[in-house]
Amino acid sequence: MGSRSEFPVQPIQRFAGKSAPIKRPEEITCFSYDVNREFRWDESSLQYYWPPSLPADLSAGFDTFNKWDDSTDEHLDGLVKALMLHEKSIGERLKTDFVTWRGMMTRFMTAPFDQFNSFDMNATLFQGTIFIEEDHPSKFEDKKEQSNRPPNRNGLSQDIMSFWGYKFESLALIPDIWDNVSRDFIESREEHIVDNIQQYCSVVYTQIGDASLVLGGEVDAVWDRKPDDKTLPINWVELKTSEEIQSERDHIKFERKLLKFWVQSFLIGCPKIIVGFRSKSGQLQRLQEIQTQSIPGTVKRGKASWNGNMCVNFAAEVLEFLKKSITSEGVWRISRKKGDPNISVYKIEETGTGQILRDDFIEW
Ligand code: A3P
Ligand code: MG
Ligand code: MG
């Protein structure tokens, strides 16, 4: 059906040089998922950082993990709903080239330096804006395959290792500013039920090269509180766990992880990442604060396994390619399989917007 456009990832040297212009991401609206995963157009699920006590066992409570059933395809629903409510409140539609989850932009931006990079996305052009969602069926197949993998050498499953990240959040976060939280709550965090159902999502406006974007992404916490002045940057905090670095090989592995940490935080405007280093078996041992903007420089002076400017320039070019390729109605697939030299775009439905957009958003 129709023609296929391709964007070659290599040679990446063509993205070297000064960074394309970028605009600091600014929050335009936000939303929360509550304990029942109900959408709320507010910041009720926003959390605050308060250091955990160390050491701690990240596996504790795995048996009572209240886990979100990720077989549900949420499309762009929360993001588009928050955007619609925001647009209604200001009385006009936002003019932007792209609307998507931050995770989709992360895939594009890390592509030049991530050898395992692969994705399937669906896109549609509506009133001059390209909306991009993840193709959930493809993603879910990958995830199922991952969960079915046998435990690793230490007898640990993918599921428990993924739990560690949520447990760390539960040990390091509080639901309100410190003044409003009881000492009891803070001291009993090790016993709290861990869940990944509640989320706070920030919706930001940003620009990369010649493209304007509205991105939605989860933020783990705020350091102090959100400023009343909406034009001021917000002191977001991203929490990450990582295995303690012991060898040269671990160091290289960690530098590669920093690429994802950096891109994820950079895109939503999160200035600080707190890494909880753990043992191989999941004992949380120490914390390290990393300033997001310092990461590309640190990597450059280290093993230089990736380059931040090249990621930005690559992303700017991919966005231009998408603008030139997705020019008519219908549903388009944006795809890159593992090891594929190209990012491909082709039409999969001639008309409509698939399930990418909610009817109430289209009609308001
Ligand atoms: P870590 O990042 O500490 O491993 P995020 O870091 O984006 O806030 O995500 C929180 C946690 O969700 C992660 O913590 C990890 O435990 C889990 N997680 C995120 N993406 C995942 C994926 N693709 N597969 C498995 N677990 C994932
Ligand atoms: Mg998170
Ligand atoms: Mg996190």
Mean pLDDT throughout 154-179? 96
Distance from Cα 70 to the centre of ligand 3, integer Å: 17
Half-sphere exposure of 244 (CA within 13 A, CB side): 11
Closest CA to 94 of 317, 361, 359: 361
Q: Is the CB of 242 under 6 A from ligand 1?
A: no
In contact, 123 and 356? CB cutoff 8 Å: yes
pLDDT the model gives residue 152:
87
pLDDT tens across 226-254, in order? 999 999 999 999 999 999 999 999 999 99
pLDDT the model gives residue 130:
98
Q: Is the CB of 240 under 6 A from ligand 1?
A: yes
Higher pLDDT, 155 or 4: 4
Atom of ligand 1 nearest to the CA of 169: 10
How far from 132 is each of 262, 268, 297, CA to CA, in Å? 22, 17, 31
Mean pLDDT throughout 147-175? 92
Q: Is the CB of 272 under 6 A from ligand 1?
A: no
Mean pLDDT throughout 161-188? 97
Reported as a pLDDT band with limits 50, 70 and 90, residue 61 is very high
3-state secondary structure (DSSP) of residue 112: helix
| Residue to substitute in 240, 259, 275 for testing ligand 1 pocket (most ligand atoms within 8 angstroms of CB) | 240
CB atoms within 10 A of CB 230: 10
Ligand nearest to the CA of 237: 3
CB atoms within 10 A of CB 115: 8
pLDDT the model gives residue 139:
86
Q: Is the CB of 241 under 6 A from ligand 1?
A: yes
Residues β-bridged to residue 273: 238, 290
Residue nearest to atom 24 of ligand 1 (CA): 162
Is the entire prediction scored with pTM above 0.95?
Answer: yes
Residue nearest to atom 13 of ligand 1 (CA): 165
Mean pLDDT throughout 331-351? 97
Average pLDDT, the chain: 96
pLDDT the model gives residue 140:
82
Closest CA to 288 of 273, 275, 270, 271: 275
In contact, 357 and 129? CB cutoff 8 Å: no
Q: Is the CB of 162 under 6 A from ligand 1?
A: yes
Q: What 8-state DSSP symbol labels residue 97?
A: S
% of the chain beyond a pLDDT of 70: 99
How far from 204 is each of 94, 99, 100, 250, 274, CA to CA, in Å? 12, 10, 10, 34, 22
Characterize the bridge pairing of strands 236-243 and 272-278: parallel
Q: Is the CB of 157 under 6 A from ligand 1?
A: no
Distance from Cα 221 to the centre of ligand 1, integer Å: 15
3-state secondary structure (DSSP) of residue 255: helix
Distance from Cα 162 to the centre of ligand 1, integer Å: 6
How far from 67 is each of 70, 122, 128, CA to CA, in Å? 9, 26, 37
Say which amino acid occupies 50. Answer: W
Q: Is the CB of 220 under 6 A from ligand 1?
A: yes
pLDDT the model gives residue 28:
98
Ligand nearest to the CA of 218: 2
pLDDT the model gives residue 145:
79
In contact, 30 and 82? CB cutoff 8 Å: yes
Atom of ligand 1 nearest to the CA of 241: 3
How far from 275 is each of 243, 245, 255, 339, 342, CA to CA, in Å? 10, 12, 13, 30, 33
Reported as a pLDDT band with limits 50, 70 and 90, residue 39 is very high
pLDDT tens across 147-156, in order? 788 888 888 9
Distance from Cα 189 to the centre of ligand 3, integer Å: 17
pLDDT the model gives residue 159:
94
pLDDT the model gives residue 210:
98
State the alpha helices, DSSP H only, in the chain: 77-90, 102-110, 136-147, 158-172, 183-187, 248-268, 295-301, 308-325, 359-363
Distance from Cα 359 to the centre of ligand 3, integer Å: 32
3-state secondary structure (DSSP) of residue 300: helix
% of the chain beyond a pLDDT of 90: 93
Mean pLDDT throughout 115-119? 94
Mean pLDDT throughout 158-187? 97
Closest CA to 309 of 300, 318, 301: 300
| Residue to substitute in 144, 162, 253, 258 for testing ligand 1 pocket (most ligand atoms within 8 angstroms of CB) | 162
pLDDT the model gives residue 141:
81
Listed in order, strand segments (DSSP E) in the chain are 4-8, 22-33, 39-40, 48-49, 56-57, 98-101, 119-126, 129-134, 173-174, 199-208, 211-218, 221-222, 236-243, 272-278, 283-291, 331-336, 342-349
With a cut of 60, say whether residue 1 has pLDDT above it. no
pLDDT the model gives residue 147:
76
In contact, 247 and 143? CB cutoff 8 Å: no
pLDDT tens across 251-284, in order? 999 999 999 999 999 999 999 999 999 999 999 9
pLDDT the model gives residue 196:
97
